[in-house]
Amino acid sequence: MITGKTTPAGSDPYVPKNGNAGLTVERYELELDYRLATNRLSGIARLDVLATSDLARFTLDLSRLSASAVRIDGARAANHSQSAHKLTVTPQRLIEAGTRFRVTIEYAGAPRPRSSTWGPVGWEELADGVIVASQPSGASTWFPCNDVPSDKATYSIQLTTEAPYTVVCNGRLVSRTVRSGRATWLFEQDEPTATYLATVQIGRYSVVEADWDGVPGRIVFPASIRRSVLADLVDVPRMMAVFQRAFGPYPFTGYAVVVTEDVLEIPLEAQSLAIFGSNHLTGTGEWERLVAHELAHQWFGNAVGVAEWRHIWLNEGFACYAEWVWSEASGGASADVLAREHYARLAGSASDIVLSDPGARDMFDDRVYKRGALTLHALRLAVGDELFFDIVRRWVGEHRHDVVTTADFRDLVSRACSAVPGVAVVALDRLLDAWLDATALPPYPTASPSASVTTHPSTTAEDTA
């Protein structure tokens, strides 16, 4: 069973049309068949579900794909019906709270993105392939699910498509078999994964295996841009080393980078992999910070996930701060120099966002990212490098594969600092109040006289060369 701090109970306030009361999904087994020429997806989804309340009927998120049959523990459901984004299932008898059961759903259709406050999300056709970018509410465009970030599950994803195409999904590749011109790929993701981080990537790709500081790696890309892609990813082993020392061991069994031939607006994180457009990896190193950012999400956002979307600064603030950690460790600008640059930009912007609850409309606003990183820098200046990086490693270690809230972070800071003589916990509480819970931008943080803040010894790039 996958456990977390928050038992899913209906929708997330930021995505109120997603999520389903009375249940949590512990495992998804997806058996998919996709026809590229016609954009036709047919699937069998097997969900291992725990009822968290008595269920006379229940719902799952499924967008514009038609369910033809639903079974519960092998027996046909008494009834099932659909609206645009919901599948409603009536079992033959009441399912009591605490019961584990398997739902099997046969479904098919032409998958397409789902509209959202932040633009289209979910399954999308590329010029010659597929990209799945589900954050925050698009997983239902390709499989029936409980699409809230708090409900993590393990995954088995089997996908069959035309043999010339490469398929990449979450986790480890178990097998690839070819029959009659079509290839079947099987991936297993053993670590708990939020629905928005589950993904399928399909394209005419080349694959290069890599070793990234002891972590098995795969680079998947169009052959025509091989040189530029490999040039821009040459520092990933050093990034991995820096981050493992700063944040703790890499939390998954491998890390894949997929580069589409298409131009993408932004890179995308998924569990155990990241997706870039051809415009992001051009051989110039221009977007090195994004390479670091997406890698850092494997710790912050993926291994340690948010219980609700209002806590998104815990994903994006940490990933943004990781860019600054990498910069100073690799001989670039220090975290303090970068913090001052971004503080100046924030000072010239509107101060109308509360970081701990920015609102659905602004959850992806760059001010959330940068103010989140500045909050971490303020903490680092207040407590010094040694305690700061100890807090970060404890954050990942204590909450690995779980879901968290801002209150959890504040609790850890309080516990870690109360054990250190000379650290004023009350002053830290006031500091976090100002950065997290007020709209006004606090003054630029200053280092505590007792704090030692330099490039952290365990993150220097020279140690990883």
Express each pLDDT in 41-53 by its tens digit.
999 999 999 999 9
Residue 331 main-chain phi, psi, to 5 deg: 95, 10
Express each pLDDT in 239-293 by its tens digit.
999 999 999 999 999 999 999 999 999 999 999 999 999 999 999 999 999 999 9
Determine the pLDDT at residue 451: 59
CB 76 within 8 A of CB 70: yes
Q: Counting every residue, how long is the chain?
A: 465
Residue 441 main-chain phi, psi, to 5 deg: -75, 120
Whether residue 429 has pLDDT greater than 90 = yes
Domains and CATH numbers, the chain: 1-202 (2.60.40.1730), 205-298 (1.10.390.10), 304-464 (1.10.390.10)
What are the C-alpha distances in Å from 183 to residues 54, 165, 175, 207? 42, 8, 10, 16
- What value does the mean pLDDT take over residues 191-215? 98
Residues facing 443 on adjacent strands: none
Whether residue 454 has pLDDT greater than 70 = no
Packing angle, helices 335-347 and 366-383, rounded to 10: 130
Instruction: Place 421 in a pLDDT band, splitting at 50, 70 and 90.
Output: confident
CB 61 within 8 A of CB 19: yes
Determine the pLDDT at residue 461: 45
Determine the pLDDT at residue 6: 43
Whether residue 340 has pLDDT greater than 80 = yes
**Average pLDDT for the chain:** 94
Question: Residue 96, annotated ligand binder?
Answer: no
Whether residue 65 has pLDDT greater than 70 = yes
404, 405, 407, 413 alpha-carbon torsion, rounded to 10°: 50
What are the C-alpha distances in Å from 111 to residues 69, 103, 126, 200, 314? 18, 21, 13, 12, 31
Question: Residue 288, annotated ligand binder?
Answer: no
CB 71 within 8 A of CB 42: no
Instruction: Place 458 in a pLDDT band, splitting at 50, 70 and 90.
Output: very low
130, 133, 137, 141 alpha-carbon torsion, rounded to 10°: 10
How many C-beta atoms lie closer than 10 Å to residue 437's C-beta? 13
How many helices and strands, by DSSP H and E, does the chain display? 9, 24
CA 125/CA 120 separation, integer angstroms = 12
58-61 and 15-20 as β-strands: parallel, antiparallel, unpaired?
unpaired
Determine the pLDDT at residue 136: 97
Instruction: Place 7 in a pLDDT band, splitting at 50, 70 and 90.
Output: very low
- The two structure tokens encoding residue 143: 């499989």
Q: Strands, DSSP E only, in 13-120?
A: 15-20, 23-35, 40-51, 58-61, 66-72, 75-76, 79-82, 86-90, 100-109
Question: Residue 316, annotated ligand binder?
Answer: yes
Alpha helices in 307-418 (DSSP H): 313-329, 335-347, 366-383, 385-399, 406-418
Question: Residue 136: is the preceding peptide bond cis (ω within 30°)?
Answer: yes
- What value does the mean pLDDT take over residues 293-310? 98
Express each pLDDT in 142-182 by its tens digit.
999 999 999 999 999 999 999 999 999 999 999 999 999 99
Radius of gyration of the chain (CA): 22
**Percent of the chain whose predicted confidence (pLDDT) is above 90:** 92
Determine the pLDDT at residue 462: 43
75-76 and 200-203 as β-strands: parallel, antiparallel, unpaired?
unpaired
- What value does the mean pLDDT take over residues 308-333? 98
Instruction: Place 464 in a pLDDT band, splitting at 50, 70 and 90.
Output: very low
Determine the pLDDT at residue 452: 61
When mean pLDDT is compared across 174-188, 371-385, 410-424, the lowest value belongs to 410-424
Residue 321 main-chain phi, psi, to 5 deg: -65, -30
CA 297/CA 137 separation, integer angstroms = 18
Determine the pLDDT at residue 449: 62
If we measure between CA atoms, which residue out of 274, 173, 262 comes closest to residue 233? 274
Q: In what order do the strands lie in the sheet with 79-82?
A: 58-61, 86-90, 79-82
Catalytically active residues, by annotation: 294, 369
